Amino acid sequence: MIEVQNLSVHFTTKSSKLFHKNLIRAVENVNLKIPENTIVGLVGESGCGKSTLGRAIVKLLPLASGEIFYKGQEITHFKDSEFLKYRKDLQIIFQDPYSSLNPRFTIYEILTEGLFTHFRLTSTEARKKVISALEQMNLKPDILERYPHEFSGGQRQRIAIARVLVLEPKFVVCDEITSALDVSNQAQVINLLKDYKDKSNLSLLFISHDLNLVSYLSDEIAVMYLGKIVEHAKREDIIKNPLHPYTKALYSNIFEINNFQKKREVLQGEIPGVIQKPSGCYFHTRCPIAKPICSQQAPPEKNLNGHKVACHFV
Amino acid sequence: MSLLDIKNFYLNFSLKEKEVPVLLDINLKIEKGEIHAIVGESGCGKSVTSLAITKLLPENLAIYKSGKILFNQKNILELDDKQIREIRGKEIAYIFQDPFTSLNPIKKIKDQIIESYLIHISQNKKEALEKAEYLLKKVGITELKERLESYPAQMSGGMLQRISIAMALMCEPSLLIADEPTSALDVTIQAQLVDLLLKIQAEQKMSILFISHDIGLVGSISQKISVMYAGEIIETGPTREILTKPLHPYTQSLITSIPSLHKDPNQKLTTIFGIVPSLGEYPSGCHFFTRCKEVFEKCNQKPRLFETNASHVKCFLYAEECK
């Protein structure tokens, strides 16, 4: 469905030196395949480039290098006008439902803006589509004339999801869509999204820092560290048999509701900054099994029967 | 004798010439050396409760209606400002959620960390700095000399939160109130800090009131849990009881709504219909009445705290007269 090859995204920031800029390699040489009707969870700690990767895939950020393929078609170099017809297929839902909905638009205007851009519809047809999308998200049609401020965070996030689903997208990036919500609201949003996905042929890139949530929801899980994907495999493989020491540490460090006695392997040290990344394998400064080679050479990506991992000692 | 004993505590906020109830009938006991957790969704009154314990809420907002907050058997609500300042920072210390805003950005770490020591214990600056260095080492800060001379903006969130912990420990408090101390941090750093807090707590035998929305985290560290909903503690009991045999319908839904690693992906998460009632719009009977699945006639009255084997629960399902 979606495939990215060698994707890199760079940013520049001001540096303390005059006429000098820092280059931040936010995402580096990422290869990622997202099959049809699949949820790929993307996890990692803050600042590791999860959101940047998500935005780059739906062409909201300029790439430093790499290609994006959608259904085999290369879409990397399309101009905005050429890309327009693909835009409705490739969508994104943002983290904060307070800033992602225009406060001056009614819910009807919010939901139909995309519809009228991409489809030629009469207003009755549009209304029908919008109402059915709202029903998918467990919202009543009588909210159409109201404004975003009248709703709670959980309701707003469901409106934001309905706005995307009304376009019948094929691929959606969900960027921390439940982090601003309480668990009971989160549960509702996740259940509804899952139901919708099972009914339609939708693929999701589900970005989150919540390992419990991603592990529950995803079919495949990709783990990112400082701009690189260090491990990517099927859900069961990652949960039962994580190979990369970073993935192992993440899973050992999460707190689980039904497993209180577990031993936690606590990592030493802080997450390195993204401007001055460590040499070789980025994880070697905190890795419990690091050897001299780890600080000299970046590990190649290995593929063990579909379980992809980048570590010298796997 | 409990270290902290909150009895039938009611708190109101005065908003635009209208008084609204915020906390209702709060009962909370913390024993010496115990870790007691308060969990609940945002806006349920967890933080307000923690701030009310040392009267840290803005004076023009908070009205301490009735009840008692007994700390070492002294009622904090009856103390004057001077007496409360003797306790605040010395006997009861706080760690807040966001170290970027809880530390002073224009003061060197060195000057902020010794402040409470100079006020409460001794005016000797050298002694205070020695103590600070000892504690900073303990919380895992390296390159001490440089760190002491630097400002909060020069450090990472994890490191600042370590400094906040060291700062809270300066006067060896008997009660540490930690309000979502690891929620702003990444999982690997969160695990480091939680282990550190547990180690220090065991060494110093202090009590911790741990406030969090993360039930998985709280379940791993606390001995007792109080569950809050809309300004009330609706269930309180030993951690294991609360998590394995929750009594209140809200606690039951809350626990099964959490996605977890080992949950069967084909099994749905529990949802609670409706939304949390906002401030000033609490239902007149049981606060969970409008969203509860097991609601019956009696629920439009106010339930008191019913006692079961190990827990206390505010729900008529457990009342003698309704069985």
Cross-chain Cβ contact B188/A186 below 8 Å: no
Q: What is the pLDDT of residue B73?
A: 93
From residue A292, give the alpha-carbon distance in Å to each of A272, A302, B152, B263: 18, 20, 34, 39
Instruction: Name the pLDDT band for B322 (thresholds 50, 70, 90).
Output: low
In a mutational test of the B interface, the residue from A193, A216, A234 whose CB has the highest number of chain B CBs within 10 Å is A216
Lowest-pLDDT range of A141-150, B217-226, B229-238, B265-274: B265-274
Which residues in chain A are contacts of B163 at CB distance < 8 A? Answer: none
Continuous H helices in A218-264: 235-240, 245-253
Which residues in chain B are contacts of A239 at CB distance < 8 A? Answer: 261
Q: Which domains does chain A have, with CATH numbers?
A: 2-89+169-309 (3.40.50.300)
In a mutational test of the A interface, the residue from B188, B210, B245, B262 whose CB has the highest number of chain A CBs within 10 Å is B188
**Out of B191, B263, B275, closest to residue A216 by CB:** B263
| Helices first, then strands: H and E counts in chain A | 10, 12
Q: What is the pLDDT of residue A217?
A: 94
A250 in Cβ contact with B188 (< 8 Å): yes
Cross-chain Cβ contact A216/B191 below 8 Å: no
Res A267 pLDDT > 90: no
Q: Concatenate the DSSP letters of all residues of A4-71 into one string.
A: EEEEEEEEEEE-SSTT-EEEEEEEEEEEEEE-TT-EEEEE--TTSSHHHHHHHHTTSS--SEEEEEET
Instruction: Name the pLDDT band for A137 (thresholds 50, 70, 90).
Output: confident
Res B279 pLDDT > 90: no
Res B257 pLDDT > 70: yes
The 3-state DSSP class for residue B233 equals strand
Res A70 pLDDT > 70: yes
Q: Concatenate the DSSP letters of all residues of B139-183 into one string.
A: TT--SHHHHHHS-GGGS-HHHHHHHHHHHHHTT--SEEEEESTTT
Which residues in chain A are contacts of B142 at CB distance < 8 A? Answer: none
Q: What is the mean pLDDT of residues B175-198?
A: 89
Nearest CA in chain B to A211: B261
Which residues in chain A are contacts of B159 at CB distance < 8 A? Answer: 270
**Out of A154, A191, A264, closest to residue B269 by CB:** A191
Q: Which residue has the tokens 């001055």?
A: A276
Instruction: Name the pLDDT band for A19 (thresholds 50, 70, 90).
Output: confident
Count chain A–chain B contacts defined by CB atoms under 8 A. 120
Which residues in chain B are contacts of A45 at CB distance < 8 A? Answer: 186-189
Lowest-pLDDT range of A184-188, A204-208, B21-25, B123-127: A184-188
Instruction: Name the pLDDT band for A296 (thresholds 50, 70, 90).
Output: very high
In a mutational test of the A interface, the residue from B141, B147, B187, B210 whose CB has the highest number of chain A CBs within 10 Å is B187
Nearest CA in chain A to B188: A253
* DSSP code for B207: E
Structure token pair of residue A280: 């070789």
Lowest-pLDDT range of A71-75, A95-99, A199-203, B140-144: B140-144
* pLDDT tens readout for residues A76-110: 988 888 899 899 999 999 988 889 999 999 999 99
Instruction: Name the pLDDT band for A67 (thresholds 50, 70, 90).
Output: very high
**Better-scored residue on pLDDT, A205 or B183:** A205
Q: What is the pLDDT of residue A133?
A: 92
Q: What is the pLDDT of residue B12?
A: 95
From residue B160, give the alpha-carbon distance in Å to each of A268, A292, B97, B102, B190: 16, 31, 11, 10, 13
Res A17 pLDDT > 80: no
The 3-state DSSP class for residue B101 equals helix
B99 in Cβ contact with B166 (< 8 Å): no
- Mean of per-residue pLDDT scores for chain B: 91
Residue B317 CB neighbours (<10 A): 18
Percent of chain B whose predicted confidence (pLDDT) is above 70:
99
- Position B75, amino acid: N
Instruction: Name the pLDDT band for B323 (thresholds 50, 70, 90).
Output: low
How many Å apart are CA B170 and CA B204, to the nearest integer? 12
Which residues in chain A are contacts of B255 at CB distance < 8 A? Answer: 257
B91 in Cβ contact with B71 (< 8 Å): yes
Cross-chain Cβ contact B261/A216 below 8 Å: yes
Burial of residue A13 (number of CB atoms within 10 Å: 0-12, 13-18, 19+):
exposed
- A contact set with B (CB within 8 A): 45-46, 152, 154-155, 182-184, 186-188, 190-191, 194, 209-213, 215-217, 235, 239, 249-260, 262, 264, 266-267, 270-271, 286
**Out of B156, B254, B262, closest to residue A183 by CB:** B254
Q: What is the pLDDT of residue B274?
A: 78
In a mutational test of the B interface, the residue from A48, A98, A225, A255 whose CB has the highest number of chain B CBs within 10 Å is A255
Q: Closest approach of chain B CAs to the CA of A84, in angstroms?
A: 35
Cross-chain Cβ contact B261/A187 below 8 Å: no
* pLDDT tens readout for residues B199-235: 999 998 999 999 998 898 999 999 999 999 999 999 9
Res B27 pLDDT > 90: yes
Res A135 pLDDT > 80: yes
